[in-house]
Amino acid sequence: MTAVLEVTGLRRHFAGLAAVDGVSFTVGPHEVVSIIGPNGSGKTTTLNLVTGAIPAHGGSIVLDGTRIDVADPARIAEHGIARTFQNGRVFAALSVADNVEVGLHTTLRAHRPFHRLSHLVGLRWVALLGELVVAVVGTPAARRERRAIDATVAAEIERFEARLGPRRDDPAYSLSYANRRRTEIARALAPRPKLLVLDEPTAGMNPSETAEVLGQLLELKAEGQAMLLVEHKLDLVMTVSDRVIVMDGGRIVAQGAPDEVRADPAVIEAYLGRRRVAAEERA
């Protein structure tokens, strides 16, 4: 079975500093892979490279047989990667339901009648004007698709029913931090991505909120959703992951099943080594 995501020799430097330095890994079908490592080890940069938010300086990224390392972020999203961000990026002016609906954008057909032309420089406008006409005039197919959109949005909000249900029509800026994160996850899941990329989904959350996210991640895993996860909370990582990748200084220092990684001396050094050395020096 081919991997969903195959990253080979990925490199990116910032003003001479190699933030990601020859990183290779794969994410298999239905597999949950976590990247851990100290701050500044290149985890988020790796995610940004995989999702195209930052262009890579070298290496290749293949999603389900298609090379995406030269594609722009919108194209990568069309290929089937959806992501969340470290601090949570929601569309502040839109309601929760509309946030989720925007997530469906790449999957719509009747609302984007000439979407195939939107990659072509000269013919983009055909696609855009097609969308405009559908929006203002409407077509029977678009009305049918509207019902499908509404159903999917309702289903995604259902996932967080207790939290997001009552806030369905509230603008996202008025949500609490945790609810913004939930909205973001719902938006990312709406298009049924081939790979879900989560950047610290529990950052800034308290233990009970973290436990709730963990529950949801396990549910998604049970549904067979392939995920690439960056996370600091090791309990969560060890519980949810099939495989863990440990990064330090832009390189992968260890990878394997959670239990193997937990015992790996390189990992302990990456997390604790410098502090231990510093403590010895002081003593």
Partner 1 sequence: MLDTLVAGLLRGNVYALGAVGISLVFGVMNVVNFAQFSFFGLGAMLAWFFVAQEGLPFWLALPLVLVVCAGLGLLVNVAVVRPLARFLPLAAMLSTYAVSQILDNASQLAFTAQFRVFPKVLPTSNLHVGSMRFGTSDLVMLGVTATVMLGMSAFLRYGKVGQAIRATAQDQEAALQVGIPVGLVQHLSFVIASALGGLAGVFVSLYVGVANPTSGLTTGMTAFVAAALGGLGSLVGAVVGGFVLGIVEAFGISLAGDTARQIIVFAVLVVVLVVRPGGLLGKVPLIATEPLTGTFLGKGRPLRVPRWVWPAAFVLGGIVVPFVADDYVLTTGTQVLVYAVIAAGFTVTAGQAGVVALGQAGPIAIGAYTSALLTLHLHVSFWVALPVAGLVAAVIASILSSPVWGVKGHYVSIATLGVGTAIVAVIQLVLPQGIYGIPVPTWAGTPLSTPRAYYLVDAGVLALTLLVTWRLRASHLGKVISSVGSDEVAALASGVRVRDYKALAFAVSAFFAGIGGSLLAHQYTYIDPTIFTMLMSLLVVTIVIMGGVSLPYGAVVGSLVLIGAMELLRFTPELRIIAYGLVLILVVRFRPGGILVRTA
List residues near partner 1 by CB under 8 A. Answer: 14, 48, 51, 53-54, 72-75, 77-78, 82-83, 85-94, 98-99, 101-103, 105-106, 108, 111, 118, 124, 128, 131-132, 134-136, 138, 146, 149, 171-174, 184, 187, 191
**Which lies closer to partner 1 via its Cβ, residue 91 or residue 271?**
91
Q: What is the CA radius of gyration of the chain?
A: 20
CB atoms within 10 A of CB 260: 13
Cβ contacts of residue 194 below 8 Å, gap of 6+?
Answer: 4, 63, 64, 79, 80, 81, 226
Structure tokens at 282: 């002081």
Q: In the complex with partner 1, which residue's Cβ is closer, 69 or 101?
A: 101
Spatial separation of the C-alpha atoms in residues 73 and 53, rounded to whole Å: 6
Chain centroid to Cα 235, Å, comes to 20
For partner 1, give the closer residue by CB, 157 or 261: 157
Residue 16's identity, in one-letter code, is G
The H-assigned helical ranges of the chain are 43-50, 73-79, 96-103, 124-136, 140-159, 161-164, 177-189, 207-222, 234-240, 258-263, 265-268, 274-282
What angle, 0 to 180 degrees and rounded to 10, lies between the N-to-C axes of helices 96-103 and 140-159? 110
What are the C-alpha distances in Å from 206 to residues 70, 83, 132? Answer: 38, 22, 44
Nearer to partner 1, 44 or 210 (CB): 44
Rounded to 5 degrees, φ, ψ at 89 are -115, 110
The nearer residue to partner 1, 74 or 155, going by C-beta atoms, is 74
Residue 78 or 254 having the CB closest to partner 1: 78
Q: How far is the CB of 124 from partner 1 (least distance, A)?
A: 6
b/e per residue, 140-173, with b = 16+ CB within 10 A? Answer: eebeebeeebeebbeebbebbeebbeebeeebbe
**Least distance from C-beta 126 to partner 1, angstroms?**
12
CB of 187 to partner 1, least distance (A): 7
Q: Quick one: 188 or 246, whose CB is closer to partner 1? A: 188
- Least spacing, CB of residue 76 vs partner 1, in Å: 8
The C-alpha angle with vertex 264 and arms to 263 and 267, in degrees rounded to 5, equals 110
Q: Give min distance, CB of 274 to partner 1, in A.
A: 27
Nearer to partner 1, 149 or 227 (CB): 149
Q: How far is the CB of 125 from partner 1 (least distance, A)?
A: 8
Minimum separation from the CB atom of position 44 to partner 1 (A): 10
CB of 222 to partner 1, least distance (A): 25
